């Protein structure tokens, strides 16, 4: 008789991958943060892809009217591609903060999760979310019932993408796929991308990965575990989905990119990798800004969106949005 399936990967007891390929998930939401629900923001959920049963959450300032030309901000959550949903309290609270801070319509899509759906599933779903917006824009003003009323009056020509951690990875790949001007999304126009501590990797370790392999919560082994669970079976940390400048990655010198803002905590394991990412893009002539937040560790922005430190980041993002809105 063969042996019983045994656990080969265990993420905090919430996700277990077994030797026979089966997967178990604990339905508990791994973030005990209280859900913020005040009168400053209205929100609702919509289905944006029926085939994959994917939903998104729309946020708008409660003071807005249908006549306002609200810009649009897409927010792609983190979770190592293995966890996360628009319903998680800390993601929701950050979206509330972003909505009020920028007076924008915020769109927070879900994506399929690994290891049930390995990359590039999440990246494909991120693109589908923007295609959904394109569909809404194309029907705008045609009295079509499928157009959501909350999109009346929004400015489809001023769209920004913000991704945190693995969501920052998704934002990078959207920027590369859509290229400068995002012509394939017309009449939607993406103006810029904000990557907050984007989740990248590589087979060659950086100095900060070698010298600071642990933060208060995160460590390098955790990152490697998320990659093992999310990349295609048999792939490596130099997969183009992991390493934007790996040996098999696309030559970004030939890709026109919209402006990119990279934000990283100075105390993050990935700090040097992300500075290197921004530096390489600058060397290729891309419009890139790199902001290091002294002493902060991974997740500082999402986990504490109302902190003084997060406020400084929000101000910097606001400047980026303003600078690239015309």
Q: Hey, how many other C-beta atoms are within 10 angstroms of the C-beta on 125?
A: 21
Q: Which residue in the list 165, 166, 182, 230 is annotated as catalytic?
A: 165
CA distance 243 to 138: 35
Active-site residue, from 64, 173, 230, 268: 268
User: Is 173 in the active site?
Assistant: no
Check 77, 111, 173, 298 and give the catalytic one: 298
Query: Is residue 165 annotated as a catalytic residue, yes or no?
Result: yes
Residues 6 or more apart whose CB falls under 8 angstroms from that of 54 comprise 47, 48, 109, 110, 111, 112, 125, 128, 129
Q: Does the annotation count 268 as an active-site position?
A: yes
Catalogue the active-site residues.
Answer: 165, 268, 298
């Amino acid at each position: 008789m063969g042996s019983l399936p045994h656990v080969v990967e265990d993420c905090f007891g919430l996700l277990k991958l077994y030797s026979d390929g089966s997967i178990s998930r604990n339905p508990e939401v791994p973030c005990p943060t209280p859900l913020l629900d005040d009168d400053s923001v209205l929100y609702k959920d919509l289905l944006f892809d029926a085939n994959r049963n994917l939903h998104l959450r729309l946020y708008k300032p409660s003071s807005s009217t249908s006549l306002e030309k609200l810009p649009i901000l897409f927010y792609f959550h983190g979770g190592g591609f293995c966890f996360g949903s628009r319903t998680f309290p800390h993601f929701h609270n950050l979206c509330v903060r972003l909505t009020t801070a920028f007076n924008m319509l915020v769109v927070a899509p879900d994506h399929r999760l690994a290891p049930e759906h390995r990359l590039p599933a999440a990246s494909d779903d991120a693109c589908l979310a923007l295609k959904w917006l394109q569909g809404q824009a194309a029907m705008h003003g045609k009295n079509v019932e499928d157009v959501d009323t909350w999109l009346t009056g929004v400015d489809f020509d001023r769209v920004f993408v913000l991704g945190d951690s693995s969501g920052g990875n998704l934002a990078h790949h959207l920027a590369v796929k859509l290229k400068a001007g995002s012509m394939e999304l017309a009449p939607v126009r993406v103006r810029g991308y904000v990557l907050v501590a984007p989740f990248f990797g590589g087979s060659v370790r950086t100095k900060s990965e070698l010298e600071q392999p642990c933060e208060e919560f995160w460590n390098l082994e955790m990152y490697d575990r998320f990659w093992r669970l999310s990349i295609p079976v048999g792939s490596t940390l130099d997969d183009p989905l992991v390493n934007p400048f790996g040996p098999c990655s696309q030559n970004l010198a030939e890709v026109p990119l919209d402006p990119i803002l990279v934000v990283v905590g100075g105390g993050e394991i990935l700090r040097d990798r992300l500075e290197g990412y921004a530096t390489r893009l600058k060397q290729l002539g891309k419009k890139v800004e790199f902001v290091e937040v002294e002493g902060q560790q991974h997740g500082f922005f999402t986990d504490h969106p109302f902190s003084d430190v997060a406020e400084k980041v929000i101000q910097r993002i606001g400047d980026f949005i303003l600078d690239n809105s015309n």
